[in-house]
A and B are shown apart, each in its own frame.
Chain A
Amino acid sequence: MPTRPLSRRSVLRGAGAALALPWLEAMRPGRREPAAPVRMAFVFVPNGVLPQTWTPADEGPEWTPSPTLQPLAPFRDRTLVLSGLFNRNSDEGEGHYVKTTALLSGARVHKTGGRDLRCGITVDQLAAAARGHLTPLPSLELGLEPVRHQVDMGYSTVYGATLSWRSPTQPATKEIHPRLAFDRLFRRARMGDDDRSVLDLVLADGRRLRDRLGGADRARLDEHLDSIRALEQRIDALATTTGAPRDAVLAGATPPPDDPAGFEQHLDLMLDVIALAFRSDTTRIVSLMLGNAVSGRDFSFLPGVRGSHHELSHHENDPQKQKQYALINRWHVTKLAALCERLDAAREGDATLLDSSMVFYGSGIRDGNRHDPHDLPIVLVGRAGGRLRSGAHLRFPRDTALTNLYVAMLAAFGCPVPSFSDSTGALDVLA
């Protein structure tokens, strides 16, 4: 019986001891080692890149990292730089919002200030729908900037702030606080046995209400009831694994501070959360927005940069501006490399966590100065447990569908699909 309030902090302190089992700890000696599960992360960077410092000069396995991709040098043999990919359905509309939100769906975005938002289901959420039940959290959606409150160019800003769509019409809410993202990995202590009857009653209320509602209202309530059921399923999943030593991974983790000191720490803490989520096998699917579409973040904290991201991305071929823009691009890639380092530091059997991962990194436009979704800047780091080809710079024929990459990634992830949006086959990235 709670006689005094139970703070989120105290719950966390006690939570580590009772979490579900990561796959590796579950093995008993003498048993045949199961293949490490494949993880997928999608990292979005807003406002495109400077093409000339992004694209490596040479192609094939002997590629040399370009100035912007230099931070990935330590992972060169596990990095695929993919040139020539085109997100056809985002070619029309406007410059940023459409191209951001449809990056992972490859679908056409409905122009609206709020009513009937539609973007298509995204590759990460399709994977979560197919295989998310294998982990306590089907997927994790993260970001660094809150959604804005204006309609711009006739598009609701939901679009520019959303990378993951649970269904063609339902955006996945992203978490922007590292501390709360961390908390989600640990959830369980707040669910007692009594809470089961609470959820039952809430769902019963919902079902009775549902019978009285018409079309669109009913669909909206269904989304809500599904979200409650997802909570219920997590209680079940955690109940069956209670007491297992997943704490080997989680108990050692330090909770992030409530308020990060500045942007860089904010981002680094999110990278920690992703690495922890993968290591503990709490989820195998993550998406992260390094900024919302048209992000105007002030990058004057970087030596050599005076100005904000979106403004500098419109460099107008002015060398001074291009130089600053490239510095921002490169800084973002150092953060991708930092994520890879964190994953590479965690061993799983003979390999590292990075070896069993696919880390997608890219933007919805190529050059920030032109809002063009041709030849998108995309890299894929990690080998998906050997399912992906070794590192190389691959140039595909002009206008190869970006979504072909998703067909290949879904196959590597263990949920093959015949096609995805405008795909024409699987991209040749599989081993």
Chain B
Amino acid sequence: MPRALRIAAALTLAGLCARVAAQGDPDAAVASVRTFIAAHCAACHAGDEPEAGLDLRALAAIDPGRWRDDAADWRDALEAVAGLRMPPRDAEPLPDQAARDAFAGAARGVLQRRRPGEPRDPGRPLLRRLNRTEWGNGLTALLGVPVDAARELPEDPSGYGFDTVGDVLFSTPMLVERCWDATVDAVDRFLATPTAVERFAAPGPEDGDDRQRADRRRLRGLLRAAFRRPPTPAEIDDRAALLARAGDPTAGWRQALLATLLSPHFLYRVERDRPERGTAPWPIDDFELAARLSFFLWSSLPDAELAALADAGRLRDGTVLRGQVRRMLADPRARALGDGFGAQWLGFRALRDVAVDVRRFGGFHDGLRRSMYEQAVATVLAVLREERSVLDLVSSDRAFLDATLARHYGIAGIDGDELREIALPDRRRGGVLGLGGVLTVTSYPLRTSPVVRGKWILENLLGTPPPPPPPNAGRLPADDQLDDGLSLRERLLQHRREPRCAACHAQMDALGLALENFDGIGRWREDSQGRAIDANVTLPDGTELDGVGGLTDWLLDQRERIVRNLAEKLLVYALGRPLDFADGEAVDAIVAAARHGDTWHGSALVEAVALSFPFRHRRNPRD
């Protein structure tokens, strides 16, 4: 096997180097980056006509405090080096893995470092629309009538893996029409109860002039909740005018409600800019913080307690904020973190419409599909909501099961439809790698895909997606039951002989093949087509893994990478924007805060995200 295929094992080291470089001698880090570039890159990427228009020598020669100005170029360079795409394989001398990692670590350290006097950058999410989940939950919370958002609005796209990222939450005429229809529906259902509007504020006497006053109180209550802040007098006046003009109260309220629920102040996450602050960041106000918190943890509006704390100006207090995170995580609404964050992070949201060939996999049915989804949600939530080790996601001898899943997994003695946590004799079903949902969405309709599963581990657990395949790369057959006598493993080996594929596949395939005891819908198997499954694999650096157990142990060794990746994904989800080199500081702090002995607690990680600098701050746009 060629050298230097040890991307995976080394990222811990890279992270370590990055931090050492960041905290240690700045000049040493800068010098090591420059030395690497001179030795390995400058032959092509320097001079008058640098390859791909990228002059790395010039990039590294400038004041390190300004490196971040060229963040995109740096990102490309670091990915290419860490992903073994650069230097090209025929270059001399080729850096070994340790040199690659040291380079990437040192460069990241420099890139995330602030210049003296430079304000900390909280980043800036784009003005974002509520996604359909948030919208449906918000509408339901306001009106108390159920809204089936998945039916009413089209599926939102995702950015960086999450549908909370504002950049992809577009508004189109089709969406606005659907939103209009659904809102009218919900408002009409709401107003069908004669005393419905009393929901919005304390009722008072309703005779004569008092009726108007009571209506204004209700409008204020409605707007306070819908806009997540105290309404302006003009906003109340406008809606009061609709009430006054209408023929009867129900008609008036219908218009006032529609004008509120279709207002951009409800549909968008509006946060204030402060031109007077110039380039300096500022702590967001209590109302904005309450909204960020409730959308992060509940995918919904702040409740009365959060609103009251914001009104009292107390939420920004760290102790109060921490207490609220704990309260909210314990609340049933925190399930949203499983459906929103977990299902997108681990990809099992795709279970809803994944294609399984039921002729091949007769055991698959919609009840199983639902149970698989619920199990995956419960598994993620248990870690994120409780003081449990994040590593339970990788290795555990407990699993959430109901009768359907237990039967599917071949575990005896579990009855009933209720999902509950069961202690098991071994670890093969504990953690996310034993989840039927994950194993199914990483398979094709007719067979498992070690490649997809390996890629899934690299991307979702370790946070290091492999680079795209070269053009015209071959594929494996769709069906693993062909007559050429080759096992899937042998076929993969054939594919890997191609040198340009080998670099990434050597690792992807090995990680995926270690899971071959799980079939295309996650059942345990000892053989396939009459041949015993061989799940012993060798990683590019020579490490041997014996099936699921070996893979699990290896992943435990990668714990730093796993927790850092989870922290980054949580931060993307919570902030609704991609991360930048500047966010490295916040990620470091989150991981450090969640540390508990030789592991990290899930709920502490969530708490640290909510308490992090970018979550609690904002800045003006730069241009």
A residues near B, CB below 8 A? 1-8, 94-95, 113-117, 138, 141, 145-151, 153-154, 156-158, 161, 166, 170-176, 180, 184, 187, 190, 194-195, 197-199, 201-202, 204-206, 209, 212-217, 220-221, 223-228, 230-231, 296-298, 300, 306-308, 311-312, 314, 316, 318, 321, 369-372
Taking a contact as CB atoms under 8 Å apart, the answer to whether A306 and B265 are in contact is no
Q: Collect the chain B residues with CB atoms within 8 Å of residue A308's CB.
A: 355, 444-446, 478
In the complex, which residues 544-596 of chain B have their Cβ closer than 8 Å to any Cβ of chain A? Answer: 577-578
Q: Mark B126-161, 1 if CB is under 8 A from A, else 0.
A: 111100000000000000000000000011111111
Known contacts A157-B158, A173-B174, A194-B255; A224 and B471 CB within 8 A of each other: no
Distance between A303 CB and nearest chain B CB, rounded to angstroms: 13
A-B CB proximity, top 8 nearest: A114-B159, A307-B478, A314-B475, A217-B127, A224-B171, A311-B478, A153-B468, A230-B173
The answer to the question of B259 belonging to the interface, with a C-beta cut-off of 8 Å to chain A, is: yes
Stretch among B7-15, B187-195, B298-306 lining the A interface:
B187-195
Distance between B368 CB and nearest chain A CB, rounded to angstroms: 17
Known contacts A212-B273, A216-B621, A230-B173; A224 and B267 CB within 8 A of each other: yes
Taking a contact as CB atoms under 8 Å apart, the answer to whether B445 and A173 are in contact is no
Q: Collect the chain A residues with CB atoms within 8 Å of residue B621's CB.
A: 214-217
The answer to the question of B209 belonging to the interface, with a C-beta cut-off of 8 Å to chain A, is: no
In the complex, which residues 318-350 of chain B have their Cβ closer than 8 Å to any Cβ of chain A? Answer: 344, 347, 349-350
Q: Collect the chain B residues with CB atoms within 8 Å of residue A166's CB.
A: 172
CA A150 – CA B157 in complex, angstroms?
9
CA A148 – CA B168 in complex, angstroms?
13
> SS class of chain B's interface: helix, strand, loop or mixed?
loop
Closest-by-CB residue of B relative to A204 is B238
Distance between B224 CB and nearest chain A CB, rounded to angstroms: 15
Known contacts A1-B250, A227-B171, A370-B471; A114 and B160 CB within 8 A of each other: yes
CA A73 – CA B177 in complex, angstroms?
40
Taking a contact as CB atoms under 8 Å apart, the answer to whether B188 and A298 are in contact is no
Kindly identify which residue among B170, B250, B620 contacts A214, using a CB–CB cutoff of 8 Å. Answer: B620
Kindly identify which residue among B167, B175, B265, B445 contacts A300, using a CB–CB cutoff of 8 Å. Answer: B445
Q: Collect the chain B residues with CB atoms within 8 Å of residue A214's CB.
A: 273, 620-621
Taking a contact as CB atoms under 8 Å apart, the answer to whether A198 and B262 are in contact is yes
Q: Mark B245-289, 1 if CB is under 8 A from A, else 0.
A: 111101100110011001111011010110000000000000000
Additional 8 contacts, C-beta under 8 A, given A149-B347, A314-B474: A114-B160, A147-B158, A161-B157, A166-B172, A201-B242, A205-B264, A227-B172, A300-B359
Interface size on B, residues (CB 8 A): 85
Closest-by-CB residue of B relative to A297 is B355
Taking a contact as CB atoms under 8 Å apart, the answer to whether B478 and A114 are in contact is no
CA A154 – CA B578 in complex, angstroms?
12
Taking a contact as CB atoms under 8 Å apart, the answer to whether B479 and A306 are in contact is yes
Kindly identify which residue among A5, A204, A225, A318 contacts B185, using a CB–CB cutoff of 8 Å. Answer: A5
CA A35 – CA B514 in complex, angstroms?
67
Kindly identify which residue among B161, B163, B247, B478 contacts A306, using a CB–CB cutoff of 8 Å. Answer: B478
The answer to the question of B198 belonging to the interface, with a C-beta cut-off of 8 Å to chain A, is: no
The answer to the question of B486 belonging to the interface, with a C-beta cut-off of 8 Å to chain A, is: no
Distance between B524 CB and nearest chain A CB, rounded to angstroms: 24
Closest-by-CB residue of B relative to A207 is B264
Taking a contact as CB atoms under 8 Å apart, the answer to whether B176 and A198 are in contact is no
Kindly identify which residue among B155, B192, B255 contacts A146, using a CB–CB cutoff of 8 Å. Answer: B155
